[in-house]
Amino acid sequence: MRIILGVGGGIAAYKSAFLLRLFKEAGHEVTVIPTAAAEQFVGRPTWEALSGRPVSTSVFDAVDTVNHVRLGQEADLVVVAPATADLLAQAAAGLAGDLLTNTLLVTRAAVVMVPAMHTEMWQHPATQANVALLRSRGTVVMEPASGRLTGKDTGPGRLPEPDEIFAFALRQVREAPAAGASPLLGKRVVITAGGTREPLDPVRFLGNRSSGKQGVALARAASAAGAEVELIAAHMDVAPPEGVKTARVETALQLRSAALDAAGRADVVIMAAAVADFRPAEQAGTKIKKRDDAADPVITLVRNPDILQELVQQRRDSGTGPELIVGFAAETGDSRGDVLEYARQKLERKGCDLLVLNQVGQDLVFGQDQTSVSILHRSGDEPQTFSGTKDEAAEAIIARVAEELG
């Protein structure tokens, strides 16, 4: 999503640096617009470094790109934190003396204002009247937190914590997306990622080489496209994106129950996890010991359920469920068939809507940053092929998902 972070001139401006980090981590493009007063508290280099974008307070910067209109028009969400009493008054009066207030007048995206000020200023009838007026026009004004303020005083007027503002603001925009907004706004996307581990005993397991990088990149790309993402993470070498709801699982059976449950409330399910096809028939309760007779141990494996197939079956049986179910295929190809042929057969066998094909091998794909994917559609249409980093591939897959949802 394209987010504008407006920063008013209050001491809580420093907390917005953490808010900015959360938005960026979740994959959003953030432009910071401080007021001149805000620059007394946090300097422009901080905002530029953390957002990776130029920062300006004035309508007379970047005039050639008509910044004062463009930023507001292109935004999916505007968050003003901290919103000082002065800024709330300016917004309520429709004043447009600087870049932030211009943007507030131009934008048709969701606007969330997060007040922070001393209790007396917050409770003053002038401020309360401004807040009521803003709310009556559709601006969302978050309630300030109560607690320790700048001086010795305590009371309502404290800026809520960055993670609370983050979750609150994203919820607003998903409930009321702007026209022409990000392609997956309002959509719920479930993504499974990483490799399952099937325990043999309390210290050993059967695992696979999946790093989880592709699934995490998908979660970030879907979140950036405005979706509400639920990540179901098996073992991963990378951290899940901050701000994305993540459920940790270990085994295929745990992943199965989490995925079948989450699918019931999802518009899209993407099965990027490397699910073990087999698990040890028995799990020893204590560590398996070497035996004195020097016999080679035998491990009996049983099949795990095919979760992707079950998701398709659950949708068919119930007549409801995700509009789109996306599978992944990791194929090496062999003397009996090429990778594309195997992928076509897999799409048909599993019955999903899209199948993303990865060609894998010892040094290909697993744990690497570069990848090459082909996206196959159940209609049998010519596959769409894409090479690049896993982040770029994830963006291409999410763009295709958005296109399929129309």
Catalytic residues: 208
Instruction: Report which residue type is found at 25.
Output: E
Asked if 18 contacts 162 with a C-beta cutoff of 8 angstroms, the reply is yes
Structure tokens at 281: 């028939």
Shortest approach of ligand CTP to residue 228 CB, angstroms? 21
Decide whether 47 or 328 has the Cβ nearer to ligand CTP. 328
Asked if 158 contacts 148 with a C-beta cutoff of 8 angstroms, the reply is yes
Decide whether 185 or 356 has the Cβ nearer to ligand CTP. 356
DSSP letters for 164-184: HHHHHHHHHHHHSPPTT--TT
**CA dihedral for 384, 385, 390, 395, sign (positive or negative):** negative
Separation CA 228–CA 226 (nearest Å) = 7
Shortest approach of ligand CTP to residue 328 CB, angstroms? 4
Asked if 187 contacts 175 with a C-beta cutoff of 8 angstroms, the reply is no
Shortest approach of ligand CTP to residue 60 CB, angstroms? 53
Shortest approach of ligand CTP to residue 113 CB, angstroms? 42
Decide whether 170 or 343 has the Cβ nearer to ligand CTP. 343
Decide whether 277 or 404 has the Cβ nearer to ligand CTP. 277
Shortest approach of ligand CTP to residue 257 CB, angstroms? 13
Separation CA 31–CA 51 (nearest Å) = 7
Which residues of this protein are in contact with ligand CTP, per CB under 6 A?
252, 271, 273, 275, 277, 304, 306-308, 327-330
Angle in degrees, 0-180, between the axes of helices 13-25 and 162-175, rounded to the nearest 10 = 60
Shortest approach of ligand CTP to residue 329 CB, angstroms? 4
Cis check for the bond before 82: say yes or no (omega within 30 of 0).
yes
Q: Which residues pair with 279 in a beta bridge?
A: 302
**CA dihedral for 359, 231, 170, 263, sign (positive or negative):** positive
Burial of 93: CB neighbours in 10 Å, binned 0-12, 13-18, 19+ = exposed
Shortest approach of ligand CTP to residue 252 CB, angstroms? 6
Strands (E) located in 35-86: 77-83
Separation CA 142–CA 140 (nearest Å) = 6
Decide whether 221 or 329 has the Cβ nearer to ligand CTP. 329
Decide whether 99 or 234 has the Cβ nearer to ligand CTP. 234
Length of the chain: 406
Which 3 state secondary structure label does DSSP give 403?
A: helix
Asked if 127 contacts 113 with a C-beta cutoff of 8 angstroms, the reply is no
Shortest approach of ligand CTP to residue 277 CB, angstroms? 5
Decide whether 79 or 308 has the Cβ nearer to ligand CTP. 308
Query: Rounded to an integer, what is the distance from CA 294 to the centroid of its chain?
Result: 52
Q: For residue 346, how many other CB atoms are within 10 A of its CB?
A: 18
Decide whether 48 or 277 has the Cβ nearer to ligand CTP. 277
